[in-house]
Structure 1
Amino acid sequence: MKSVVHIEEIEPEIVLLRMQDDVYKNTFSKALIDELIDAFDAIQANQTYKVVILTGYDTYFASGGTRESLLAIHEGKEKFTDKNVYSLALNCDIPVIAAMQGHGIGGGLIMGLFADFVILSRESVYTTNFMKYGFTPGMGATCILPRKLGISLSEELLITSANYRGADLEKRGVPFPVLPRVEVLNHAVELAREIAEKPRYSLVLLKNHLVAPIRQELPSIIEQEVTMHEKTFHQQEVRERIHNLFGK
């Protein structure tokens, strides 16, 4: 079976993690989730890596839940917490750069925002489209969005579920580099080289200190998101919206 997550040490101490599920366009298929978890486990076990670059392929970074997974949650067969893919970057000991060269949709955008550094593409679409399907946000969105973007823009993104190009977010003052797509990965590599100049032990210690408040806060917010899902996800209207939106 063809791998959909590729891990490569592109330079000493710098590891590139590329998501490339071209069949499902980097939606959270079972293969993508399982291979991402395995890849981060392998990175955690390697004591020489100092920094991770997480990226996608072509025009896709990560595209959120599949139709099947959303319907399974609607039917009560699954929860988004069954496999924790959303906070892999947060839980990684070493710094993670999300080189979001392509579209970041729903949970795909949220997964990227849990990274320590975020780089956006001017051309790509970024959206937290949970409410477009009629259910409240999950994947830790209500935790990380306000921390990274501020409450006002976060409420706008989460409630309206609108699509934003990277260029639109740049005008709104997001605190990330927003570059032409072709420049995103190169910028990430340059940043990774700067990070890799530092001692690994110091990087791990400082990252753990900086993200400790988010790690502490996240479980209770996830619990609240699951509770909201239990109230909103099982509506018949949600099922109809899933079918209609995926059918387009």
Structure 2
Amino acid sequence: MEPAVELRYVDDGIAQIRMQDRVSKNTFSMPLAEGLIAAFGEVSEHERCKVVILTGYDSYFASGGTKESLLLLSDGKGKFTDVDLYSLALNCPVPVIAAMQGHGIGGGFALGMFADFPILSRESIYTTNFMKYGFTPGMGATFILPRKLGITLAEEMMIVARTYRGEELQRRGVPFPVLPRAEVAAYAFDLAKDIAEKPRVSLVTLKDHLVESLRSGLPATIDQELEMHERTFHRPEIRDRIETLFGR
């Protein structure tokens, strides 16, 4: 069986982290979560790595929490911070390109937004569907979406919780590339090659400077998201909505 996460070095200075948990369709299963943490840990320590491409497989980028994990959270058996996936790209010392060739759902969409260079596909679905189940967003979504998408679109995505095709988000003016799915990987690789031409120490130094306010500001918002979850997540109606609506 192939691993849930594959790390390989596709060119000099370029690492690719590929999420490929076909059993869970790239929901945050334990194999996927453990694989992501291990892969980002390795590239962070790799002295020759200058840029990371984070991508998925086929029509899936990342699909957010599993049904089982959401039910456990609803029952008060854990918090989304128990496994920190949301800050992996932000805290990676080198630039991260999120080649979001497939669907980005819930926390999976937030995962991509924490990258330095998100790239969407026109055909794919993107949604922050937390409120579909009746609980407030987590995974740092309330922090990163307004900063990456603008407050108006971010509020709409989080409160209304509907799905958007990449082509619609392109029309709405998202400030990063939205390409045909078949072109996302090549675009990401070309961008990575441009980045990898620069000295690693300069890339790390500049990224530290550019994202310092994000790194320092995120923890307070995570605490606020946890407080909102305490008020919203543990109600019986939330468990019912997860049971009946998950996967629809």
**TM-score > 0.5 by shorter chain:** yes
Trace 1:122-137 onto structure 2 (pairs within 5 A): 122-137=122-137
Q: Give the ranges of 4+ consecutive aligned residues of structure 1 lying more than 6 Å apart after TM superposition.
A: none
Trace 1:72-151 onto structure 2 (pairs within 5 A): 72-151=72-151
Counterpart in the other structure of 1:184: 184
Q: Distance in 2 between matches of 1:44 and 1:167?
A: 33
Q: Structure 1, residues 73-119: CA drift from partner, whole Å, max 9, x if none?
A: 01111100001001100000000000000000000000000000010
Deviation at 1:246, TM superposition (A): 2.3
Deviation at 1:60, TM superposition (A): 0.1
Aligned length: 248
Q: Distance in 2 between matches of 1:216 and 1:244?
A: 38
Q: Structure 1, residues 11-51: CA drift from partner, whole Å, max 9, x if none?
A: 01001110000000000001100110011001111110000
Q: Extract unaligned runs of 5+ from structure 2.
A: none
Deviation at 1:2, TM superposition (A): 4.1
Counterpart in the other structure of 1:59: 59
Counterpart in the other structure of 2:17: 17
Deviation at 1:247, TM superposition (A): 6.2
Deviation at 1:206, TM superposition (A): 0.2
Counterpart in the other structure of 1:30: 30
Counterpart in the other structure of 1:152: 152
Percent identical among aligned pairs is 63
Give me the TM-score of the superposition, normalised by structure 1.
0.99
Deviation at 1:3, TM superposition (A): 1.1
Q: Extract unaligned runs of 5+ from structure 1.
A: none
Amino acid in structure 1 at the alignment position of 2:151: I
Structure 1 vs Structure 2 CA RMSD: 0.8
Give me the TM-score of the superposition, normalised by structure 2.
0.99
Amino acid in structure 1 at the alignment position of 2:37: I
Amino acid in structure 2 at the alignment position of 1:156: E
Secondary structure class of the residue paired with 1:81: helix
Counterpart in the other structure of 1:68: 68
Q: Distance in 2 between matches of 1:149 and 1:155?
A: 10
Amino acid in structure 2 at the alignment position of 1:75: D
Amino acid in structure 1 at the alignment position of 2:16: L
Amino acid in structure 2 at the alignment position of 1:98: A
Amino acid in structure 1 at the alignment position of 2:149: L
